[in-house]
A and B are shown apart, each in its own frame.
Chain A
């Protein structure tokens, strides 16, 4: 693609810009309206205000939902990182049934969330588990497990075997090799996977709606409020969440893009 004619380059750039505008304009609406008043589709640019942010601090209902979301997110991250890493290690150790196992792990991620959510809903009812934050955490963990598993497995597979072999040659037991060689090499992939898992859990709506009890997470709370329209302080919350999400993305990118570790140089 060295000698693209000028016109087509301009056209392509224009379409790309259009796509970017299409993707970001829905995000711009709440951010702009968190600082300015919007009436009848017109933005009043003359009077920027932080009143929405002040009002947000008073909205206990929303803050409680935010706290619930954070609790669910942290539990989901812990469960999915531990089980995802163990499952990746199992797959990597070439034991029996590994492709079937991988298929089962990927199922909830491939199936529409409504199917995974409803299947869990019926399952919880059959085993007599009341819908609560526990069921939400289980739902989220099942959903994000594939991502953490995949992230860790890819790092495992790119890890040089010579490192492990060297460790054994120097007389380390398999336990020592795991703790001092394998795990440190996996840590950045685990952190990256954890951040992705948290971001997914933070925004998960469809499964949550189906398996949640009386306490709702933030997206579900917002979903319930949306029918009546939002109060302006919700815009402030959205602006804050978007900033937080960008931060998470940047962090995840940092951890997932492989650093120049010793394994690469051998």
Chain B
């Protein structure tokens, strides 16, 4: 016979076991690798072998070497531009969706989101062929008389990366903006209309401010995805389109300096976390709850 005190104890043990089991997988395969990775950023490489002594050398090199900081900064500017263009295209589209009724609204939303799930590599390849010197874009521009002859303006350079990333990431901007627009209570818009505001006034003073949280989330999504991408710059960037992701990736390939690559990853992670926090801070919906 068990005494009255043993049941809670057994239960507590059971509960502890369940907790340990639940944490096991995420901790071993997520937290531990990230911790080891962080640790690596303090190691160094000597003649192809990794030296396990802690030092800040990698970080010192990142801040003092004339190569890395400019590329880092250029990449941030590039990804901010991608986010801005994506939003400029996605906002009107998302707004248009919310003016539609019922079934059409969601069918069209699906249509604009489905390309997300389609082969990333193939899309990069197809966009590269569209942007190329003999590609459809140059053909169209020459055909329309905008250009005299095919231009190399968007072949294997930063512009190519900018355009490709934009095309790939637009759907990530559409969804959050659409959700924040959809959440705006119709009552507010009707009230504004009743009080004699024009359509433009209502948009500028009600709709736009209330949808800004969605814009912030969209910007943060697109920025984070753009800055983490190393495949697109590798494929369409050529020699001049050098981004941070490429440098980082090369540390694990040709350059073979894992510790330095880890330090570069930490720098990347800092920017990404900042972007996520900014998106989170401004992405909250305030004042739409009625």
Chain A residues with CB under 8 Å of chain B are 1-5, 8-9, 11-13, 15-16, 18-20, 22-27, 29-30, 40-41, 83, 86-87, 90, 95-97, 101, 104-105, 107-108, 110-115, 118-123, 126, 138, 141-142, 145, 199-200, 203, 205-206, 209-210, 219, 222-223, 226, 230, 238, 241-242, 245-246, 248-249, 253
Partner of A112, one of B90, B199, B228: B228
- CB B212 to nearest CB in A, in angstroms, measures 17
B19 is an interface residue with CB less than 8 A from chain A: yes
B120 touching A203 by the CB < 8 A rule? yes
Given contacts A30-B126, A122-B36, contact A205 B231 (CB under 8 A): yes
Please choose the segment from B59-67, B110-118, B281-289 that sits at the chain A interface, where 4 or more of its residues have CB less than 8 A away: B110-118
The answer to whether the Cβ of B134 comes within 8 Å of any Cβ in the partner chain is yes
Given known A101-B22, A104-B26, A210-B252, contact A242–B118 (CB-CB < 8 A) = yes
B114, closest chain A residue (CB): A249
Q: Is B176 part of the binding interface, using a Cβ–Cβ cutoff of 8 Å?
A: no
Q: Residue A22 contacts which of B30, B96, B170 (CB distance < 8 angstroms)?
A: B170
CB of B134 within 8 A of CB of A40, answer yes
Nearest-neighbor residue (CB-CB) of A123 within chain B: B33
Q: Which of B4-36 contact A (CB under 8 A)?
A: 15, 18-19, 22-23, 25-27, 29-34, 36
Option from B99, B114, B171 in Cβ contact (under 8 Å) with A246: B114
Closest to A83 in B: B25
A–B complex contacts, Cβ < 8 Å, 16 sampled = A5-B199, A12-B92, A41-B134, A87-B26, A95-B15, A101-B22, A104-B30, A105-B30, A107-B31, A114-B268, A115-B269, A120-B29, A205-B120, A206-B229, A226-B125, A245-B117
**List of A residues within 8 angstroms of B97 by Cβ:** 16
B136 in contact with A41 (CB, 8 Å):
yes
The one of B23, B27, B136, B199 that contacts A3, using a Cβ cutoff of 8 Å: B199
Contact A25 B130 (CB under 8 A): yes
Enumerate chain B residues within 8 angstroms of A253, measured Cβ to Cβ.
110
Within 8 A of A (CB), among B110-168: 110-112, 114-115, 117-127, 129-130, 134-136, 139, 167
Contact at B114–A118, with CB atoms within 8 Å? no
B33 lies within 8 A of A122 (CB): yes
B265 within 8 A of A: yes
The interface residues of chain B lying within 8 Å CB-to-CB of A13 are 96
Collect the chain A residues with CB atoms within 8 Å of residue B268's CB: 112, 114-115
Residues of B within 8 A of A112 (CB): 224-225, 227-229, 245, 268-269, 272
- Kindly list chain B residues whose C-beta atoms are within 8 Å of the C-beta of A104: 23, 26-27, 30-31
Given contacts A112-B224, A126-B36, contact A26 B114 (CB under 8 A): no
Kindly list chain A residues whose C-beta atoms are within 8 Å of the C-beta of B136.
25, 29, 41
Q: If the complex has contacts A1-B189, A226-B125, are A16 and B96 also in contact, measured as CB distance less than 8 A?
A: yes
Closest residue on chain A to residue B125 by CB atoms: A226
Against A, the Cβ 8 Å flags (1 = close, 0 = not) of B25-54 are 111011111101100100000000000000
Q: Which 9 A-B pairs have the closest CB atoms?
A: A112-B228, A123-B33, A26-B126, A119-B33, A119-B37, A12-B96, A15-B92, A29-B126, A104-B26
A4 vs B136: C-alpha distance in the bound complex, in angstroms? Answer: 35
